[in-house]
Amino acid sequence: ALAQKLAIHEITYTGEKKDRPIDKSSFALVKDPDKCVMCRRCETMCNEVQTCGILSAVSRGFDSFVGPAFNLDMVDTSCTFCGQCVAVCPTGALSAVNTTHKVWTDLQNPKKHVVVQVAPAVRVAIGEMFGMEPGTISTGQLATAFRRMGFDGVFDTDWAADLTIIEEASELVHRIEHGGKLPILTSCCPAWVRFFEYQFPDMLDIPSTCKSPQMMMGSVIKSYYAEKMGIDPKDIVVVSVMPCIAKKAEIQREELFMDGLHEVDWVVTTRELGYMLREAGIDFSTLPDGEFDNLLGESTGASVIFGATGGVIEAAVRTAYDWLTGEDLQDVDFKQLRGLEGVRSAKVKIKDIELNIGIAHGLGNARKLLESIRRGECEFQAIEIMACPGGCIGGGGQPFHHGDMEI
């Protein structure tokens, strides 16, 4: 009766499927405009938080949805594929390219040696998908889960994060001692790298030359590990489990191929791993602890803090301290580098050298720091930038937080 009173029966439902094409042009994001309800949360993340300006309302007559200007394919834009739009989209109009079926296919193939590596930020988030308290550290359970899924080798990306630190710290020390270009910028976040390439092409000599930990691990597996195990690298499949959507695009960069082979074959996000575990009928919360395979020794505590903003630069400073002083560091905690403010700075005294360090998380904050460097106002020697708010812990592939976060 109320509907009749309000004349609702006279309103024609026009929300039917419109058959707008699904954009699968990129290796990272899928855009399905038919599912867009114009809430424009993705647009807020893209324009106000990340300042990339890719997503905005596209209108054609009475038809409106969110997408790139001129309805370009995502691959033809300067999108960084950080995936923060996916993290806040309530309908699946934006989602990550899902290759989990390819991982299952490779795991079933007896001719393939399939190994997995897992990033630091995954172990504190995956438990959420199985009713565990957010932040529960489940490193050992992950190792057990991977073995039950059928992986032939189970590796911890923490080890490769240590490798990244050695490389980045040696580049920092080299630039300090030999008068190289400063500040040095971390380069382990692929969304940040793409942002930098598109938005600051005049400053490409500043970032460190290091690959990200997942790519370093992939190349070690397809070279050192392959030789040690006597396996043709062509028969090895490397799967990365990451908090990150941008890493799906990173593995396709041609300069990161090794002898024509992908260093990493598939990237699975934390969320997708949760779905795979459910598909396999594995109740993650009840798994016993297992062990990772040991590729070249243990990883350090410095690699674990990579997952949070400030962690990469703190790890690099710990190593740089050792090298610049020739002494063992007694207190490894550089608490002045920690925190959640979007842009922060800290001074670290290493004997007679005072290192001025900048940290930014979220690309909008990164832009502020980069513009100050461009104007010549910046006195930092080293800067860490992570594209996602909070660092990888807030990655676009982590369990959905429905946009409820501190920025």
Interface residue with ligand SF4 among 85, 184, 189, 308 (CB under 6 A) is: 189
387 binds ligand SF4 per the rule CB under 6 A: yes
Asked whether the CA dihedral 125, 131, 137, 142 is positive or negative, the reply is negative
Told to judge if 379 belongs to the known catalytic residues of this protein, a careful annotator would answer no
State which residue, 207 or 243, has the beta carbon closest to ligand SF4: 243
Q: Which range binds ligand SF4 by CB under 6 A, 18-26, 152-160, 162-170, 189-197?
A: 189-197
Distance spanning both ends of the chain, measured CA to CA: 46
Angle of CA points 373, 186, 181, to nearest 5°: 50
Give the interface segment with ligand SF4, choosing from 2-10, 143-151, 195-203, 385-393 (CB under 6 A): 385-393
- Please confirm, yes or no, whether 272 is among the known catalytic residues: no
Look up 351 and say whether it is catalytic.
no
Residue 213 as a binder of ligand SF4 (CB under 6 A): the answer is no
Alpha-carbon distances of 159 from 121, 142, 156, 303, 308, rounded to whole Å: 14, 16, 6, 7, 16
Site for ligand SF4 in 62-91 (CB under 6 A): 82
Pick the binder of ligand SF4 from 88, 172, 220, 244 (CB under 6 A): 244
Given a contact cutoff of 8 angstroms between Cβ atoms, the answer to whether 234 and 261 are in contact is yes
* CA separation for the pair 156, 214 (Å, rounded): 10
Least Å from the CB of residue 306 to ligand SF4:
9
The least CB distance from residue 309 to ligand SF4, in Å, is: 8
Q: Please name the residues in contact with 2: beta carbons below 8 A apart, sequence gap of 6 or more.
A: none
Return the residue of 30, 49, 182, 191 that touches ligand SF4, per CB under 6 A. 191
- Tell me which of 128, 247, 263, 378 is the catalytic residue: 247
DSSP annotation of 182 reads S
Our CA angle for 388, 390, 395, nearest 5°, is 40
How far is Cα 364 from Cα 385, in angstroms, rounded to an integer? 11
Considering beta carbons, is residue 364 or 391 the nearer one to ligand SF4?
Answer: 391
**Is residue 250 annotated as a catalytic residue, yes or no?**
yes
**335 counts as catalytic:** no
Q: Which residues pair with 262 in a beta bridge?
A: 257
Number of shown-chain residues binding ligand SF4 (CB under 6 A): 14
Query: CA-CA distances (angstroms) from residue 176 to 83, 145, 181, 288, 350?
Result: 35, 44, 9, 47, 12
119-to-116, 332, 398 alpha-carbon distances in Å: 10, 22, 12
**Cβ 318 to ligand SF4, closest distance in Å?**
20
Q: Are 56 and 72 in contact (CB under 8 A)?
A: no
The catalytically annotated residue of 128, 167, 171, 384 is 171
> 68, 120, 243, 310: which one contacts ligand SF4 (CB under 6 A)?
243
Q: Can residue 267 be called a binding residue for ligand SF4 (CB under 6 A)?
A: no
Instruction: Look at residue 357 and give its three-state secondary structure.
Output: strand
* Least distance in angstroms from the C-beta of 351 to ligand SF4: 32
Binding mask 16-55 for ligand SF4 (x = CB under 6 A): ----------------------------------------
Give the integer Cα–Cα distance in Å for 75 and 31.
11
Question: Which residues does the annotation mark as catalytic?
Answer: 168, 171, 188, 208, 247, 250, 255, 392
Q: Kindly list the residues in this chain that would bind ligand SF4 in the complex (CB under 6 A).
A: 82, 189, 191-192, 243-244, 246-247, 386-388, 391-392, 395
